């Protein structure tokens, strides 16, 4: 079920609400219905983007490790004698 984040235009209260069909969301603070829907975290973090982020993170740490190895090699080369 979709959970949306809203900001009330009446009192600037921010809240998350489970949206049911045929029920318009209402601000829990002032009972106002003039709401601005925000982009939900649930909508953004789909399985696809999560997997892509994981993959990206792995690649990044691998390249950092390579840089470290390279630096260690350079260090040894410069301190052999």
35 binds Zn ion (CB under 5 A): no
Q: Which stretch binds Zn ion (CB under 5 A): 21-29, 37-45, 46-54, 59-67?
A: 21-29
Q: Does 29 bind Zn ion (CB under 5 A)?
A: yes
Cα–Cα dist 60/57, whole Å: 5
> Which of 30, 43, 53, 62 touches Zn ion (CB under 5 A)?
30
- The 8-class DSSP code of residue 61 comes to H
Cβ 9 vs Cβ 35: under 8 Å: yes
- Cβ-proximal residues to 1 (8 Å cutoff; 6+ apart), any chain: 18, 19, 20
Question: Per CB under 5 A, does 33 bind Zn ion?
Answer: no
Residues lying near Zn ion in the complex (CB under 5 A) are found at: 8, 10-11, 13, 27, 29-30, 32
């Amino acid at each position: 079920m979709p959970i949306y984040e809203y900001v009330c235009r009446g009192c600037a209260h921010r809240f998350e609400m489970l949206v049911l069909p045929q029920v318009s969301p209402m601000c829990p603070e002032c009972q106002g219905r003039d709401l601005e829907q925000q982009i939900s975290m649930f909508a953004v973090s789909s399985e696809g983007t999560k997997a892509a982020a994981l993959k990206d993170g792995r690649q990044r740490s691998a390249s950092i490790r390579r840089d470290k190895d390279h630096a260690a090699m350079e260090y040894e080369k410069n301190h052999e004698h």
